[in-house]
Amino acid sequence: MTNNAIFQPFTLGGLQLKNRIVMAPMTRNLSPDNVPNDNNLAYYRRRAEGGTGLIITEGTCVNHIAANGYPDVPYFWGEERLAGWQRIADAVHEAGGSIVPQLWHCGGMRRAGVMPEGDVNGYTPSGMNVPGKVNRHEMTGQDIQDVIRAFAEGARDAKALGFDGVEIHGAHGYLLDQFFWEGTNQRTDGYGGSLEARGRFVTEIIEACRDAVGPEFPILLRFSQWKQQDYAARLVDNPRDLERFLLPLSEAGVDIFHCSQRRFWEPEFDGSDLNLAGWTRRITGKPTITVGSVGLNADFIPVPGEATFREAEPASLDELLRRLADEEFDLVAVGRAMLANSDWASRVAAGQSESLKPFRKEMLATLD
């Protein structure tokens, strides 16, 4: 297959990308004291120098007491942390790339004891990190407003620091997704119940972010059917319910939907070959990002007994390029393959795919 489609420019308002290749957000746990440092800067700069059109940063925690759930992840608040992020944004721009931070709240994936917040428990809609097991803090109405405000502040700061947009992390069983997911959202107020009510929290986050950044600053939303807690979980089972789920989010101000699948080539619903990004584009009319084992021969789910991403070999891009050329989706996020090859985009552009390195789990230990 020709790779011309993936190297076409993409424009959305002020967001101008030189190609359709996106670096997927990947938690690295390599920011001591929660501050993005010189190693983080060099890591992102290398991907921009390697030809990536848009970089979405690893999840970076908003300014809320329970947002963090893991050691050594970067935060997106505080003078020193924001200064570090501004240096990263400047470095990516100097290398010819674009960059957006991913704003993140871990929700019930947090366990009490994770530093620096210590004994603070995870916050969830109904006290559950997994369906049926109440062992987390159930959020009050004030808690909800505090988190909405934290996301809006993060979006405002992203714009002030010179980023090219902002992504809201609403996937993979973290806080926002726990509101979406009926299994963990058993609230009886206006934030629980119907599919639309379970989406209200995120809709209000998007609206608050839009108010904070104005009409032109791009807002991306990442969502998924699957959860870390249950890979078989689904928010919706048919296109009609996907429309009910998506349209309020789209109308609230999402510009680009980042549609997370484990394997991008899998159809989302029976009777159509469209993947999740394809259905989302059809329903909303908004640009979409596809993701899920791009360029590799195995998905990322670890084998039994392991906690790290699965190792994988380079694989053909033909099916991806066919779908992109057919305008099923607009942008393509590359994860593990780009950890293994900082210049993945440049090698593909030069027709050197045979030189791409496989992904090995030891690559997670460094920021090469």
166: helix, strand or coil: strand
Reply yes or no on whether 123 is catalytic: no
Report d(CA 336, CA 52) in Å as an integer: 14
How many CA within 13 A on the CB side of residue 167?
27
Closest to 323 in 3D by CA, of 271, 274, 263: 274
Closest to 261 in 3D by CA, of 304, 223, 302, 315: 223
Write the DSSP symbol of residue 173.
Answer: T
Report d(CA 126, CA 128) in Å as an integer: 5
Buried-exposed string 118-151: b where 16+ CB fall within 10 A, e elsewhere: eebbbbbbbbbbbbeeeebbebeeebbebbbbbb
Buried-exposed string 192-207: b where 16+ CB fall within 10 A, e elsewhere: beeeeebbbbbbbbbe
Report d(CA 338, CA 260) in Å as an integer: 17
Would you say 13 and 45 are in contact if contact means Cβ atoms under 8 Å apart? no
The contacts of residue 85 (CB under 8 Å, 6+ apart) are 36, 57, 60, 74, 76, 101, 161, 163
Enclosing H/E stretch for 332: strand 331-334
Would you say 139 and 128 are in contact if contact means Cβ atoms under 8 Å apart? no
Residue 243, Cα to own-chain centre: how many angstroms? 20
Tokens at residue 246, please?
């998506």
The contacts of residue 146 (CB under 8 Å, 6+ apart) are 64
- Please identify which of the residues 44, 75, 123, 174 carries the catalytic annotation: 174
Handedness of CA 253, 336, 113, 108 (dihedral sign): positive
Residues catalogued as catalytic: 174
